[in-house]
Structure 1
Amino acid sequence: MSAPISNWTVLKGLPLMELYAASRAMADGPLTLAAATLLRERITPGDRVLVLSGFLMRGYDLPETDGPIGAAVLARALALGFGAVPVGISEDSVVKCMKTCFATAGLIPAGVEDLDSGRNRCALLGFPVDPAEAQDAASALLDRFKPTAVIAVERPGAGSDGEYHGGGGFRISSFTAKTDVLFAEARARGIATIGIGDLGNELGMGNVAEIVRANVPLGDVIAAELKSDVAVIANISNWGAYGVAACIAAMSGNPAAFHDRAQEIRLIEACVRAGAIDPVGGQLRNFVDGTDAETNAAMVELLQSLVLLSQREAANINKYQDSWIK
């Protein structure tokens, strides 16, 4: 998931593998596996998990395609694999896009009061832009849902100056929901936190902030400050979420918890129809971070094959490992 093949990563010359290596050292193992393991340890069926996403494009009031799709795929895996009840969180203006993605992934949007009325339910809620309102909203959400995990997928994270920044160093605080407040309060309460990002200005990427400041263009301005229990570094944030979702599907023994190639293409198409923009191309097109739908689908197909292989070959792998000690 960290293969530097998108034009954003290559053209910007991002030190993706340095960021990955640093975060992996902190997690003491592969990042997607570490994140999935943490979630398996914390989640029991019926638990609420908050999934934060949506990165609004300056001047458009529309989100990137990177983020909502990955959030939906991961929410699906949490529901089908671990029996969790995902609650998507974003700006009010992004809730429609998030809802479209979650539904296209196969989940069933419901009102908060109806989350336990059937299988594979989810809820989508807006979060305040105003900092004072955000503090009250964060406490209310955590008190109400009592989530066992909070996950940020391509979600803006505030820098050392307290401001949110786009990749170009410009401020986006005036229209960005203050989800840092929610993430920080979750950490203070001992709730598991996972951040998934691809540049370093995303929520939960504080684990690698020093490397971002030193090596990423404009890193001294954009580096996000808040840390997470596991910071998943990926070439495209959606891909990081896919990696975690694939691990969940394998761990749970339910390959259906991970989506397939055809569904990936449907997700990208639905996300764009809901108004999401490819930020690299600056267009309403079926791309994510400058990478076309077919390339994204190929990555999903590869992951799906690994999930299936892990189930089909589990017995042979165990026997092979046992043969080492005989």
Structure 2
Amino acid sequence: MVQAGKDIATVIDDLTTTDIGGRDTIYPISGAARERQGNAASMQAAEHLVDAVDAGDTVLVLTGFLIPPTMVQETDGPLGAVSVARAVDAALGANPILACEPAALDICKATATAGELSVLDRDTAANSRRTVAVEEFPADRGAAEAYVDDLLDEVDPAAVVAVEKVAPNAEGVYHNMAGYDVSEETAKVDVLYDRLPDDVLTVSVGDAGNEVGMGLVQDVVIDEIEYGAQCQCGCGGGIASDIETDLLVPATVSNWGGHAIAACLSHLTETPVLHTPEVERRMLEQAAAAGSIDGIVGGTNAWCDGLPPDAHEALLRLIHEVLGSSVHSRGGGELGR
């Protein structure tokens, strides 16, 4: 029997905000987010997407976090972004575009392919299902402005979902969690948020306070997260994000927040869009094979945020158990198309 939506949402959010790795960031962030926007953020996000996105609409999914000193894309972010792309494609009939740093492009393409999506150009993908366009969001500010102008003119997105997308602080500087400036090679997504029309739904997923959407809890990040108030780059601004979105979905691992949104879309639309634990492992392995590293322990070992693949598979199994119904017991192998 399917649990009530409220119960499902509460349990899923409890699972995805449990500090399994002991990083000491998620509890202050998730607690403040619940006080300010209510409980069950992943279900709220899914409900907002159902309301805002019609069949044929474009949903822009942002991800990308390059880890210094090598400035290689980490494993957290692309998997959650692919979860969201799969879900809006299959459950809502939308056309997802996944945009990331140029240096992350091959990794995001490999992750999407491992996640059972065909990677096609924007025009071809718009006329096909089980597909995603994966594009470069430029790090150069002038090029980013041109990209955003083209994007808004050509596809007019109904929603923008950011998953582990590093954001600037109040001084306009992008930081990693250790407080170092990573602006030079980071996509200038502030350009997009400055230019988005007010009627475009914005949803974000993050885990540490320096991501898009964490502007909602900026004061908490400044007060309670290491380097939140004082970074190590000399800009004087700390790592706290200055970009707020319509809804913030905190998660212990940002990928998990993307999975939570997909699970809630599965429940609301009765469409099995959440991938299986086996696909989760395959995405981690293929991302690593393409060069992605664990942002905490390093290495192309298919770990993510200091946790081995088994832990991420287990989380998927638990979410599927919560969903519980016979339509979901097929494990998300079908995408409803």
Question: Which residue identity lines up with residue 218 of structure 1 in the other structure?
Answer: Y
> Post-superposition shift, 1:171?
0.2
Structure 1 position 98 matched with structure 2 position 113: no
Structure 1 position 309 matched with structure 2 position 309: no
Of 222, 225, 236, 2:242 maps to 225
Aligned-partner Cα distance in 1 for 2:169–2:155: 28
Name the residue aligned to 2:55. Answer: 45
Residue deviations 1:161-196 (CA, integer Å, cap 9, x gap): 11000101110001111012113322x442100111
Residue deviations 1:225-250 (CA, integer Å, cap 9, x gap): 01001111111100111111100111
Aligned-partner Cα distance in 1 for 2:326–2:84: 19
> Post-superposition shift, 1:29?
2.7
Structure 1 position 263 matched with structure 2 position 272: no
> Post-superposition shift, 1:309?
3.4
Aligned-partner Cα distance in 2 for 1:106–1:64: 20
Of 132, 140, 147, 1:130 maps to 140
> Post-superposition shift, 1:115?
2.2
Question: 1:134-145 alignment to 2 at 5 Å?
Answer: 134-145=144-155
Percent identity reads 31
Question: 1:146-165 alignment to 2 at 5 Å?
Answer: 146-165=156-175
Of 17, 33, 41, 1:2 maps to 17
Name the residue aligned to 1:237. Answer: 254
TM-score, reference length from structure 2: 0.87
Structure 1 position 121 matched with structure 2 position 123: no
Q: Number of paired residues?
A: 306
Q: Any conservation in 2 of the 1:250–1:310 contact (CA below 8 Å)? A: no
Aligned-partner Cα distance in 2 for 1:116–1:158: 31
> Post-superposition shift, 1:17?
2.2
Question: 1:144-293 alignment to 2 at 5 Å?
Answer: 144-186=154-196, 188-220=197-229, 221-255=238-272, 257-293=273-309
Q: Any conservation in 2 of the 1:167–1:222 contact (CA below 8 Å)? A: yes
In the alignment, structure 2 segments of 5+ residues that lack a partner are 1-15, 230-237, 330-337
* Ranges of 4+ aligned residues in structure 1 off by more than 4 Å: 310-313
Aligned-partner Cα distance in 1 for 2:38–2:327: 25
Aligned-partner Cα distance in 1 for 2:249–2:63: 14
Sort the Cα spacing of 1:148 and 1:312 in 2 relative to 1 into closer, same or farther, 3 A: closer
TM-score, reference length from structure 1: 0.90
Aligned-partner Cα distance in 2 for 1:36–1:24: 16
Q: Any conservation in 2 of the 1:53–1:153 contact (CA below 8 Å)? A: yes
- Structure whose residues are more often helix by fraction: 1
Of 58, 72, 77, 1:62 maps to 72
Sort the Cα spacing of 1:155 and 1:116 in 2 relative to 1 into closer, same or farther, 3 A: closer
> Post-superposition shift, 1:109?
1.2
Of stretches 203-212 and 113-122 in structure 1, the one that deviates more from structure 2 is 113-122
Name the residue aligned to 1:322. Answer: none
Residue deviations 1:291-324 (CA, integer Å, cap 9, x gap): 11001000001111222339689xxxxxxxxxxx
Q: Any conservation in 1 of the 2:90–2:129 contact (CA below 8 Å)? A: no
> Post-superposition shift, 1:67?
0.3
Aligned-partner Cα distance in 2 for 1:229–1:26: 12
SS across alignment from 1:287: coil
Name the residue aligned to 1:78. Answer: 88
RMSD: 1.6
Residue deviations 1:70-108 (CA, integer Å, cap 9, x gap): 111111111111111110001112111111111111111
Aligned-partner Cα distance in 2 for 1:310–1:212: 41
SS across alignment from 1:33: helix
Q: Any conservation in 1 of the 2:160–2:201 contact (CA below 8 Å)? A: yes
SS across alignment from 2:98: strand
Aligned-partner Cα distance in 2 for 1:312–1:259: 10
Aligned-partner Cα distance in 2 for 1:284–1:176: 21
Q: Any conservation in 1 of the 2:32–2:217 contact (CA below 8 Å)? A: yes
